[in-house]
Structure 1
Amino acid sequence: MDRLAELLLRQRLVTPDLLVPAAARETAVPGRGDRSSRRARPRAPVADGVIALESDLLQLGHVLSAPLRARLAELDAAELGHAGRALVSALSALRGGLVVHTPLFRRFPESVPADTSEVFVRRVFSLLLQRPEQPCVLCGEIGAVHPVSPCAHLVCSACWDGADYSACPICHRRIDPGDPFLRPADDVHAPAVTWNGGVPGTLTLLGLCDDPAARARDLLGPLLARQSAPRAEDKEVVAEIVDRFWPGSAGWLPERIPARETRAVVLAAAVRHGDLGLPARHADTATDVLRLLHALMGGDPGLRTRLPRRTSLPRPVRRALLAVLDRQPLPHLIEDLHRYPVQWRQMAEVLHPHEFHRRHPDAALAFAVLRGTPLRTGTPMADVLLERAAPHGDLLTFDGVRLRARTFAGRFEAALRTDPHEALALLSRRPGELLRRTADLARRVPAADLAEALRAAAPHVSPAVLIATLGQLRTPPGGTRMFLPRGGAARIWTEPDVRKELASETVAALSDVLTGEMLRRAAALPPVETALLDEELTDLLAPQAERSASASLVRLPRGSVRPLPGGERVRLFLHWAQPENHRVDLDLSVAVFDARWTFTGLCDYTSLRLGGSAAVHSGDLTSAPEPEGASEFVDLDTAALRAIGGRYVVPIVFSYNDVPFDELVRGFAGFMDDPDGLFDPLAVRQRFDLTGPAKILVPFVADLWSRTMRWVDLNVSAFDGFHNVYGYEEQLARLGAAAEDAYGLGGHVTLWEVACWHAAARAREVVVRHRDGSVSRHTRRPGEDAAAFAARLWARRAAGPVVPEADLAMVLRDDVRVSEGAQVYALHPAHLDPAVIRSLDAADLVGMLAPVPPA
């Protein structure tokens, strides 16, 4: 499928390119297949085909909007067949249903052995003692032992049921589909997908996108406006749209792109298309240039992972980037280079800054300081650079051979140890750093002084930083602090929270400054008549840094809580495919802990059954060659797990043989609610991709007592290989407990609060939908400011009848009435036509609160 069509389909929009292949459009003959002819003479087979397609889409939980159905009815039979196959395949793939899912035990869960140890012993005996053309060492059968391909292990067809096993019973690697072991007369291979023939209770509406370019521009705008680091999937969307519509997309760019990783993706696309002026307009720090270089060379613009390889750059590009560096103030340039010294030393070998020391002397000087380049007086380059360094004696020192620098961070740390007021004065020059250190400074300097500094700094800081600071201030000490690595794959650090508690007056004063700033920003947005809020948004945390978040079917901000699926049986699934000539063994595992986080049991390849049938594993596949790949499943019976003393359930995806997820051809996991058959796309409640350099992923922590799950999406640090639950039992317990403390006990900002900021500052009246299904109406009082109105919304008191239609809706499910063109955030979008509303993401709600100049 066309990449743009796929991106828009994720927005529930179907494009003309998906409906009609380009070749069919180019060869259409007037009167013989053009649209005007089809409108004039509708064909019965086409009408029947549309009905058949609707039936197939219903089985996938989707329904056509009226405009989309009308457009499909205009196609001829061949075009309709193409559109139908593309739609069904794409929608099934979004839930993980396009691939063939075949577990090790094909009759899973019924045929999973009760005693994993016995099976292991039989495997070991067969491996060590089995001999060709000899009776089976397990059963004594003669003539039943044959090697399987390609692993060549000797397998007895009498001891190992080829109608149930889908891989070699000895090593669990995939074997050739044509191997006789897999073709017994009573083959009962489980189907990849089984339909129940019914219609799902909730149908998702598909809309028609008549103008992909306009919709792409609408999709690009909010992504470029966000202040926080983007998800990997959002960076892919930005890169695809900018590259696809270049040079027209250059005119879609705003004056400023706040998120620096997003900025690097855009600038890299511009440089590849030969536009060297765009970096000069948008790159305003040396780190921007470094991010751009990494993006150009196929690396991570977030600078979290090592660049796979350096590539040479054309001379005009090198000169243009050195010009960008040269125009930075020298103190800032030197400090920026010292933030990423290893990466910049590598890039110096690409940029050759000393080659241009006369044209770009400040850039050459900064690299000389970073690299410790010997500057011998009397040489041409040394004389030029030392002359440029002379006015900066407070920043640079010269020992006769090399220049040394004193950085801002060093000066601040020295001031913090001796005079916190001086440290506050230094930080006041850097608003972002001040906000990030506010919680610490609140314990060192008077609240009034800090509040005044915050009041001046807050208008210049991104909303994600304001939200994080507000959460840190409101979180009382106690419990466990958790520090997530910026790279997403390094060690997660936890420690007891022994900080001194802040006075309530200090917390209130500083919080008022931050919330007041957010309300001021919201008030600068276009006003609306009516806003609709969902009280259940209190369960969702406001997104902050999402750069390491997994691409998922339901985009849950990290730390958010959702109910477990309603059935008693939850089926976890994992699928992956390995690159050619490179074996990859992933393992889907589950660790169970009691209320005190004491290990209770596990379900993985070492223990296929826990508590009888409380948890059942489908079997360990140790390779995943194309085209089928490999799939593993774990069935969880929540009542039975509680009965054996389990409270917390932690699913984990391990890369057993230490291969990073980003080397997979494809990889995803998720869970279903009481599926009908082995894999039922309709039953999928969450699906997420396995990406990045991580080797161990914990997607969520389930609490069986409250029947909720907390979405954590954490990459656990991995060392060496052979990863399994036994090796990480204690680490998983600490991680799960820390996640519950950090997200469950803290005063984090929720999406409910963000929604209240929007509604209180922008709407004349607000409708609140409560957890029990009741609704209430709140109307702004004469002269009431946004803060007072927001306080009434937070109190959630009922106040009058329902307003039937909203211009701004922030809800969990979009089963609401809104005006045409309304802005809508829905965690589970389904009912509203995406072609006639403006869909918002949680990050959009936060990103819309970007800094605005004070009035």
Structure 2
Amino acid sequence: MEQVAQMLLRERLVSPELLAFCPALEPAGPSQEARAVPHPSTADGVLALEADLLRLGYVLSAPLRNRLCELSPADLAHVGRALIHGLLARVGGHVEHVPLFRGFPDTVPADTLEFYVRRVFTVLLQRPEQPCVLCGKVATVRPVSPCAHLVCRACWDGSDFSACPICHGRIDPADPFLKPAGAGSAEAASGTVRVPDRFTLLGLCDDPDAWARDTLTALLSRRGAPRAEDRTAITTLIGCFWPRSAEWLPDRIPARESRAIALAAVVQRGWFEPLARHIDSATDALRLLWTLMGGDPGLRGRPPRRTGIPRPIRRAILAALDRLSLPYLVEDLLRYGEAWKRMAEVLHPHEFHRRYPDAALAFAVVRGTPLERGTPMADALLARAAAYPEVLYLKGGRLRARTFAGRVEAVLRSDPAQALALLARRPGELLRRTADLARRVPAAALADAVRAAAPRVSPAVLIATLGRMRTPPGGTRMFLPRGGAARLWVEPDTRAALPGAAVAAVSVALAEELLRRASALAPVERALIDEELADLLAPIAERSAATSLVRLPRGSVRRIPHGNRIRLFLHWVQPEGVQVDLDLSVALFDDRWRFIGLCDYTNLRLARSAAVHSGDLTSAPGPLGASEFVDLDVPALRTIGGRYAVPVVFSYTGVPFDLLDRGFAGFMETPKGLFDPLAVRQRFDLTGSAKIYVPFVADVRSRTLRWADLTVTAFGRFHNVARHGERLARIASAVEEAFGRGAHVTLWEVARWHAAARAKEVVVRHRDGTATRYVRGPHEDAAAFAVRIGNRSGGEDVRSLDEGDCVADFAALLRDDAPVADGAEVYALHPERLDPAKVRFLDALDLVSRLAPAGASVASA
């Protein structure tokens, strides 16, 4: 069982519940090995499990099937239920979806206004023991539980409604009003069994300990900020394999958020030694404290509720702070001054001013502590501060600090050349300010400084800088503070164009550094890369990315599925005692972003059937929760003049998404029945402190969608399209402009760097399905090879990728339908048919993070 559970973890189904099943799957003992033929009921059970998996689009590999056949019938049933539940959870099919109108889309009212008037009329005029005010029938009016609205059983069809028809709140499932549902929609009544057109192969993990060690090491070695599912995986792996996992922590954890999660997991188990090795800045300690208190290690969103920290952990954190250089410690604390003031009330640094004097001094600066000479603590701290006259000074009885950022801003206005020299001390800051410096200093000097600083900077910062340098001004600028979860805003880009010489020189320097790093990786004989990867942007920071079925970096473009009908879905469960009303809505705009129409609870049908809403549920108590759907007819949307369709999830009651017990959304392509797991093309979680979520912007004219993944904070309650329509148009149009223009670094370019620097031979699959082979020349360097591949020069046509001489050792693909060698490194956006036991999967963040410099002190993103 442990092997199956680990396999589920490898498939990103990380859950402590699955790991709880592990004792049932110990390696087969002598008595099990002697059983040559599986128990008949076990064999039947495996066949039944395979049939269920086939209906979901999954097949068992031979080793996994053989291992399942060795289980007892009881263990197989246990494993099968967990496996099916976990696979359904990936697409959102593990819950029961019951919309307001159970016969959706057929029974949705044609006139939303008339439907609303009937409800209001009933609320205002209906009285107990009186005939129905709508139909006049006697003895048909009864209250429903628990809202007690008076509902006429003749006017409102209890077999179609799944909630109170007046308030749309969930009611007691045992209420007599809720009659058993009939045949429902024509799709559900047909009983058609959907035959999958693609299958995902499920493999067996032979050595769970080795897999867990390798997975944890890989997660902690990444230089990019971890996604939500990666954070869960780190915590789960350390906890489930403790204390063995203590030996798996690498000597250096470059991503600071991953570092905080791992340190929190180990210090909670009483192991403090890693703090001395892994905390090299005050912000590292702050991330750790936030994580211990249940907050976001990225320091985003609301501060966590302040809780007590055990005294040994407090001393260990203060000791780690005290070891840092005082100037950097003071500046780092001031960067998050308000947060550190809160944490000081937990750490009590002044109680330890003799043992940890630098930590106590830094907190005195941040808190503005009055220091009157004559007291032991004040005299000790002032004497210590006197050793740093360039950084600290006394004013009004309180210590003040001169920060690096302040010195840079002061000198930048008067002497840009001096500012460049000052920024050279901090390579990460220099790269982030490169675009601004390009307008102030000579191109050659800037390129030299960038070339010297680049080897110490993370690949994410290099790629972000390269994109900023190559993107011309104009259009709209979009700002996403702290990952886009607060006060997102847009404005016209009125900046002056960057000097061409600076753009060219800096771009060459950055590309050379990234190619140099790729050349240091293990060489391969043959690489296979997909030209369609040009539609996917290189991920820079995915800390705020929603956990999703298909991982698309923000700004990437994908084709709308071929079917004419797209069904959006939303599901949520409210916490006990809190009413949460989420609304799934779609706003439609023309090609000039003028509003065309909407489909939401105020307009259940747009242009009769161009968009159809399943009805507004206003509460979602567990365990059932609530589900809403919107059907989109793509040709019909074009017919009524629409071009951009913008789906939005609103929290009408103003409850942030992170308070939900469960919340996710997604879309299906031409589903069979209400919810068809095989038709799900994307599913994503609703998380964070936001109240508005915009997953993507669909261009129904070109049949493409741009992944936006924007969570937006709003104040108050009663959020809907009518209130935020103009804002939605600005945000959606800014997404199209900000990501659709310019020269952003794409996954195609990153894959080309890998291929040109590491492979002797590169095969490129083009958008039309043809392929070209490029062979590196005897004296051709990586930069020239990469340019030749990008320019499509000097290659030979490949007749078929199925031929043996096209099998790749490194592949970056959109689809998994190309030949790769056993043990190959493979990135595939859709990797369903590749055996995870035979290839080494990479994701988009791996392609970027593997370009990090080895063994250097790196300025991270």
TM value normalised by structure 2: 0.95
Q: 1:181 to 1:325 in 2, by over 3 A?
A: same
Q: Which residue of 1 aligns with 2:164?
A: 168
Q: Which residue of 2 aligns with 1:711?
A: 707
> Is 1:655 aligned to residue 657 of structure 2?
no
Output the CA distance in 1 between the equivalents of 2:275 and 2:540.
27
Output the CA distance in 2 between the equivalents of 1:475 and 1:730.
27
SS class of match (1:502):
coil
> Is 1:341 aligned to residue 343 of structure 2?
no
Q: 1:207 to 1:166 in 2, by over 3 A?
A: same
> Is 1:261 aligned to residue 263 of structure 2?
no
Q: Which residue of 2 aligns with 1:277?
A: 273
> Paired residues, what number?
850
Q: Which residue of 2 aligns with 1:817?
A: 819
The one of 499, 514, 518 equivalent to 1:522 is 518
Q: Decide whether the 8 Å contact of 1:230 with 1:262 is kept in 2.
A: yes
Q: Once structures 1 and 2 are overlaid, which stretch shifts more, 723-732 or 803-812?
A: 803-812
User: Post-superposition shift, 1:286?
Assistant: 0.7
Amino acid at match of 1:817: P
User: Post-superposition shift, 1:357?
Assistant: 1.1
Q: Decide whether the 8 Å contact of 1:570 with 1:671 is kept in 2.
A: yes
Amino acid at match of 1:767: V
Q: 1:819 to 1:193 in 2, by over 3 A?
A: farther
Q: Decide whether the 8 Å contact of 1:467 with 1:749 is kept in 2.
A: yes
Amino acid at match of 1:649: A
User: Post-superposition shift, 1:189?
Assistant: 9.0
Amino acid at match of 1:843: L
Provide, for residues 435-465 of structure 1, a one-character-per-residue CA deviation record: whole Å limited to 9, x for no partner: 1111111111111111011011101111111
> Is 1:799 aligned to residue 801 of structure 2?
no
The one of 398, 403, 406 equivalent to 1:402 is 398
Q: Which residue of 2 aligns with 1:309?
A: 305
Q: Decide whether the 8 Å contact of 2:772 with 2:796 is kept in 1.
A: yes
Q: How does 1:632-711 map to 2 (within 5 A)?
A: 632-711=628-707
User: Post-superposition shift, 1:30?
Assistant: 7.7
Q: 1:353 to 1:43 in 2, by over 3 A?
A: closer
> Is 1:574 aligned to residue 576 of structure 2?
no
Output the CA distance in 2 between the equivalents of 1:17 and 1:590.
36
SS class of match (1:587):
strand
SS class of match (1:391):
coil
Q: Which residue of 2 aligns with 1:297?
A: 293
Output the CA distance in 2 between the equivalents of 1:837 and 1:592.
43
Q: Which residue of 2 aligns with 1:741?
A: 737
Output the CA distance in 2 between the equivalents of 1:621 and 1:15.
29
Q: How does 1:88-487 map to 2 (within 5 A)?
A: 88-183=84-179, 188=184, 196-399=192-395, 401-487=397-483
Output the CA distance in 2 between the equivalents of 1:186 and 1:668.
27
Q: How does 1:489-568 map to 2 (within 5 A)?
A: 489-568=485-564
Q: Which residue of 2 aligns with 1:759?
A: 755
The one of 832, 837, 840 equivalent to 1:838 is 840
Q: Which residue of 2 aligns with 1:35?
A: 32
Provide, for residues 453-491 of structure 1, a one-character-per-residue CA deviation record: whole Å limited to 9, x for no partner: 101110111111111100000101111011111053211
Output the CA distance in 2 between the equivalents of 1:684 and 1:584.
25
Q: Decide whether the 8 Å contact of 1:101 with 1:192 is kept in 2.
A: no
Output the CA distance in 2 between the equivalents of 1:193 and 1:698.
33
The one of 798, 807, 810 equivalent to 1:808 is 810
Q: Decide whether the 8 Å contact of 1:595 with 1:647 is kept in 2.
A: yes
Amino acid at match of 2:316: A
Q: Which residue of 1 aligns with 2:859?
A: none
User: Post-superposition shift, 1:25?
Assistant: 5.7
Output the CA distance in 2 between the equivalents of 1:694 and 1:237.
24
Q: Which residue of 2 aligns with 1:11?
A: 11
Output the CA distance in 1 between the equivalents of 2:638 and 2:39.
59
Q: Decide whether the 8 Å contact of 1:193 with 1:678 is kept in 2.
A: no
Q: Decide whether the 8 Å contact of 2:2 with 2:21 is kept in 1.
A: no
Output the CA distance in 2 between the equivalents of 1:374 and 1:839.
57
User: Post-superposition shift, 1:264?
Assistant: 0.5
Q: How does 1:594-605 map to 2 (within 5 A)?
A: 594-605=590-601
Output the CA distance in 2 between the equivalents of 1:90 and 1:370.
48
Q: Decide whether the 8 Å contact of 1:808 with 1:822 is kept in 2.
A: yes
User: Post-superposition shift, 1:43?
Assistant: 3.6
User: Post-superposition shift, 1:214?
Assistant: 1.4
SS class of match (1:613):
coil
Q: Once structures 1 and 2 are overlaid, which stretch shifts more, 214-223 or 442-451?
A: 214-223
Q: 1:486 to 1:230 in 2, by over 3 A?
A: same
SS class of match (1:458):
helix
Q: Decide whether the 8 Å contact of 2:237 with 2:245 is kept in 1.
A: yes
Amino acid at match of 1:842: A
Amino acid at match of 2:204: L
User: Post-superposition shift, 1:399?
Assistant: 2.9
Q: Decide whether the 8 Å contact of 1:550 with 1:713 is kept in 2.
A: yes
> Is 1:829 aligned to residue 826 of structure 2?
no
Output the CA distance in 2 between the equivalents of 1:392 and 1:502.
39
Aligned-residue CA RMSD (Å)? 2.3
Provide, for residues 292-350 of structure 1, a one-character-per-residue CA deviation record: whole Å limited to 9, x for no partner: 11111111111112333222222222222111111111111110010011111111111
Q: Decide whether the 8 Å contact of 1:12 with 1:834 is kept in 2.
A: no
Output the CA distance in 2 between the equivalents of 1:15 and 1:656.
30
Unpaired segments of 5 or more residues in structure 1?
none
Output the CA distance in 1 between the equivalents of 2:51 and 2:190.
15
SS class of match (1:612):
coil
SS class of match (1:182):
coil
User: Post-superposition shift, 1:193?
Assistant: 11
User: Post-superposition shift, 1:698?
Assistant: 0.2
Q: Once structures 1 and 2 are overlaid, which stretch shifts more, 386-395 or 213-222?
A: 213-222
Output the CA distance in 2 between the equivalents of 1:540 and 1:429.
34
SS class of match (1:208):
coil
Provide, for residues 120-172 of structure 1, a one-character-per-residue CA deviation record: whole Å limited to 9, x for no partner: 11111101110001011111111111100110000011111111111101000
> Is 1:850 aligned to residue 852 of structure 2?
yes
Q: Once structures 1 and 2 are overlaid, which stretch shifts more, 219-228 or 775-784?
A: 219-228
Amino acid at match of 1:671: F
Output the CA distance in 1 between the equivalents of 2:590 and 2:419.
46
Output the CA distance in 1 between the equivalents of 2:270 and 2:143.
58
Q: Decide whether the 8 Å contact of 2:168 with 2:617 is kept in 1.
A: yes
User: Post-superposition shift, 1:4?
Assistant: 9.5
Q: Once structures 1 and 2 are overlaid, which stretch shifts more, 797-806 or 822-831?
A: 797-806
Q: 1:254 to 1:831 in 2, by over 3 A?
A: same
